[in-house]
Amino acid sequence: EGVILDVRPIVSHDRRYITLELRPTVATLIKPIRTFTTQLGVGAAVTFQLPELQKQAVNTTVVIPDGGTLLLAGMKFAEEKTLDSGVPILRDIPVVGFFFSRDGKATSMKDLIILLKVEIVIGSELEPNPEDETELLR
């Protein structure tokens, strides 16, 4: 479960603008991870874990000036939870346990908001690291 952000930056020839190809993806675990064990050839048994995921993804391309900031928003997703509560011991009694327990579902909506700050970094223009210089002198 979580968020994956694929980014492909392309720097313009004059080094003033950056074209970003973005693909944010939200993955949510639908069912618990199932485990399968199989025998491959004459070797030892191999165990696989196969989760069932729900994925939501979007592709976008933007052009940003060097040093600019991008706000990426609009991906919404709902999260459902099953809730149960009650008075200990009393909720487990047949017939009357109904009066001492409560079951329900809660749905919450979430928005994904990502801030990206872009800056062109040219390796030859970076300040030298003093630790690297001492290694060169050895």
pLDDT reported for residue 65: 95
Q: Is residue 131 part of a domain?
A: no
Residues 65-105 pLDDT 10s: 999 999 988 888 777 888 888 888 888 888 888 888 888 88
CA distance 117 to 53: 30
CA distance 127 to 133: 11
Residues in Cβ contact with 47 at an 8 Å cutoff, skipping those fewer than 6 apart: 35, 36, 37
Q: Is residue 83 part of a domain?
A: yes
Q: Is residue 132 part of a domain?
A: no
CA distance 31 to 53: 8
User: What's the DSSP call for residue 91?
Assistant: G
Select from 101, 107, 104 the least CA-distant residue to 85.
101
The dihedrals phi and psi of 97, each to the nearest 5 degrees, come to: -60, -25
What is the tally of structural domains in the chain? 1
Is residue 21 scored above 90 in pLDDT?
yes
Q: Is residue 32 part of a domain?
A: yes
Average model confidence (pLDDT) for the chain? 84
Is residue 8 scored above 80 in pLDDT?
yes
Q: Is residue 135 part of a domain?
A: no
By residue range, what is the domain housing residue 86?
2-122
Q: Is the pTM of this model over 0.75?
A: no
Region of 132 on the Ramachandran plot (φ > 0 left; ψ -120 to 50 alpha; else beta): alpha
